[in-house]
Amino acid sequence: MFLIVLVLAWRWRGWRASEQRRRAPPETPLQVTDMVRCAQCGVHIPANEAVAGRKGQYCSTAHRLAMEP
């Protein structure tokens, strides 16, 4: 009797796991973005967040002002 209960519980858990996998939303692909190096400190940041200057890309306005007075 105990063995039958164990088998039924094992089968029920397997069925529940397959249902959850079936209902899970599909994985969305990661978006790739270009990275640039700060001309002052060397930190890499996303290109769309970089501060553009005459001598290159910077991670902040303070670094741009320090390099380009």
Query: And the tokens for 5?
Result: 């209960």
Contact 44, 37 (CB under 8 A): yes
Determine the pLDDT at residue 21.
74
User: Which pTM value belongs to this model?
Assistant: 0.55
Distance CA 69, CA 53 (A): 11
* Whether the predicted pLDDT of 22 surpasses 80: no
Contact 15, 27 (CB under 8 A): no
Mean pLDDT of all residues in 38-56: 94
